[in-house]
Chains A and B, each alone.
Chain A
Amino acid sequence: MVLDLTMSMAILALLGALATIAGCLEDLESDVGSQSNPNSQVQLAPQMNFLHRIYNKAISGEPISNGLSAVTGGVITSVLLSANFYPLTAIVIGAFIAAVIYGIYATTAYAGRVASQTRFKQPLYMDIMRYTTPSIIGHNFIVNFCLVAIAYIQYVILGYPFTIPFLALIWGISVGAIGSSVGDVHYGGEREFQNREFGCGLNTALSGRIVRRAESGLRNSIDNVWFCAKFGGPATGIGLGLTVFFSSWPTTIWGYTWTAIIVGFVIVAVMMILNRLVEIQVKNAYGPYKEEKTEKGVEA
């Protein structure tokens, strides 16, 4: 479909918005279910005698589990579209079924992981499973909806050469990679270890010694997602939103030319400079940790 510039930009803005929501909710889903690298600490805690009430699913690495979920939604949507369903209905049904399947994986993963920790006396809390699993399904439904909608728009309106399930799979893998790289640091580096000193990295000696008490009562995964929704989730959303927006924006404005490619490279350079500015600011705020004179062979 050939679109004018205004319409193309409107579609691109919609894609960016959907990606931002998908990125944010993907990270929050991985926090409420405890998945990916930070979950290694949740898994390790009972072995250090730190029994906890945190959901422990980790179906697989985030990109793979989200890719699976998104492609399931994409396949069901494609089938329904070929049966002449209204697109929005098809996407909603596809996303919902995929989310329910994801919920089944989450339940079996949680039960299986806790069962493997019997020797460390980690209990399987049925109340945790009852009220956290629907939250996981709810978060995953929104992620699937956004990703399949992006795939639908790219395939049907923008004319991408890949099909809806394949585009959904790629975006599922990407959102998982970004969620694992960005938002999980907020969960693993900060929320799980709020007992460490602020302004420094996590000492390896603290591994497995996760915080188990909440602002009120014992901490559970709902408390964690409440905290991470303040920064980790939105930052992940920004990561995916920028990716979707800036990977298409240059070609939308400048066409399929070298100029567009150069503009893309300039965007990357600007991000590099921004990262450097953040680095300078944070180094001034928290470092250095020790006197420079203690270092040998290096000029101050």
Chain B
Amino acid sequence: MVAIDPTLLNVLLIAISGTLICAAVHFIPVGGAPAAMAQATGIGTGTVELAAGSGLVGLITASYMYANEPTAPVYLVMAAGAMGSMVMLASTMLAGGLIYAYGVAVPFASAQVKKDPITGQRQDNFISKGTQGQGIPTICFVSGIIGAALGGIGGALIYYVLVGIYSPLITTSAAAVAGVFTMGVFYVNAVIPSYGVGGTIEGFHDPKFRRVIGKDVLTSFVVSLICGVVAVMIAGGMVA
């Protein structure tokens, strides 16, 4: 087996994590402004805001796990990140669903599929006139959870790698610098899909998903690779 240079491995891991975050955004059902007015399916906010919001909660849980269990395997830290992120998005979608159901009073319906692939329930006849679906049907909820998990894993992995790089150089401040840099990589990769999805996407069942994910993921990998190089380079200027 060919041994990989540790620095190159770190850069690659950051690139892969960034790509995971980018892919994650495509799974999260965001409807933007139309969804906030019950005119479209999904969560009524923007892609970047929601992906970053959930991913950063994952970053908090992952960092706390790593701080309390410094010997924890990377998989456990990544799972903690996924859990925090999933809990945030699930809570948001559930509370949002309550508003759609009992505040606005609209049945949940996807405009992209005629039947929900998970529940098998018809969707098209629940779409009210002049809208592109409403609320958060089960397929969107599941897609969102998958996206949150991927985002949480990506954020936690970047944090894990960066703490490993910075800890020997700046012991006490390593977590803070790694956290801020992870947040930066998160935002970079949450913005890239916005151009592809154009503000709204229902999740992995949306035809738009297959159309744009390839280009977005490739772009994200290249950009994250540059982020990884910068993350390693800034370590050169660190003094304890």
Contacts and interface: CB of A to CB of B under 8 A. Distances in A.
Nearest to B64: A160
Contacts of B67: 159-161
B54 interface: yes
Interface stretch (A84-92, A129-137, A171-179): A171-179
B236 interface: no
A185 B100 contact: yes
B141 A272 contact: yes
A158 B63 CA distance: 12
B50 A282 contact: no
A158 to B, nearest CB: 8
A235 B99 contact: yes
Contacts of A207: 37, 39
Interface stretch (A45-53, A94-102, A112-120, A259-267): A259-267
Given A181-B44, A189-B38, A204-B131, A283 B95 contact: no
Contacts of B80: 251, 256, 261
B83 A247 contact: yes
A279 B135 contact: yes
Interface stretch (A140-148, A195-203, A211-219): A195-203
A11 interface: no
B78 to A, nearest CB: 10
Interface in B77-118: 79-80, 83-84, 86-88, 90-109, 114-115
Residue with the highest number of chain B CB atoms closer than 10 Å, among A160, A198, A291: A160
Given A170-B57, A261-B83, A271 B91 contact: yes
A40 B33 CA distance: 8
Contacts of B136: 275
A243 interface: yes
Residue with the highest number of chain B CB atoms closer than 10 Å, among A38, A158, A201, A265: A201
A36 B57 contact: no
Contacts, number: 303
A279 B108 contact: yes
Given A181-B43, A181-B44, A261-B79, A200 B108 contact: no
How many chain B residues sit at the interface, stated as a range, is 35 or more
Interface in A249-288: 250-251, 256, 258, 261, 264-265, 267-268, 271-272, 274-276, 278-279, 281-283, 285-288
A288 B130 contact: no
A252 to B, nearest CB: 11
Contacts of B137: 279
Interface string B33-68: 111111100011110011011101101110111111
Given A199-B106, A235-B103, A161 B176 contact: yes
A289 B126 contact: yes
Contacts of B34: 204
A268 B145 contact: yes
Interface of B: 32-39, 43-46, 49-50, 52-54, 56-57, 59-61, 63-69, 72, 76, 79-80, 83-84, 86-88, 90-109, 114-115, 119, 121-122, 124-131, 133-138, 141-142, 145, 175-176, 179-180, 183
Which 8 residue pairs are nearest across A and B when measured between Cβ atoms? A177-B53, A203-B130, A239-B95, A161-B175, A37-B36, A200-B128, A264-B83, A288-B125
